[in-house]
Amino acid sequence: MNSKQIIALLPYQDPFLFVDDLTEISSKGISGHYTFKKETHFYKGHFKNNPITPGVILTECMAQIGLVCLGIYILKDEFVENTNPKIALTSSQVDFFLPVYPGEKVTVVSEKEVFRFNKLKCNVKMYNEKGDLICRGKISGMIKA
């Protein structure tokens, strides 16, 4: 299963799809990119005259790439065309270090900690284009084909 096939199985679409490409994919981890579009609606109010990406959106980007895409890859043999995966975020604990501005491209790197009984727990990090750590945390969720 390749990047395009995994992204096609995601249950998200614009404006709530935060995955542009997946660059490394294995059963042990995954990495990918997303560029935050300057015209996205939440920048108009977060914050006045100094727009930055809300932490909840950064967490969502980390979860989509680092948890959901990895879960789809791990369960790839259970997915068929037109499968609509069932996904539930069960926990997230994220520490934030740097802001993400409109138009900025980020890289998400995820390492599987455990996958058991369709529950996936990952250590996920997000970096900016300079390679600086933006945020990191543990994200867990349930996924079923």
Give the residue numbers marked as catalytic. 46
Q: In what order do the strands lie in the sheet with 86-96?
A: 21-26, 29-35, 105-116, 119-127, 133-144, 86-96
The dihedral sign for the CA sequence 79, 80, 86, 88: positive
DSSP state letter for 57: H
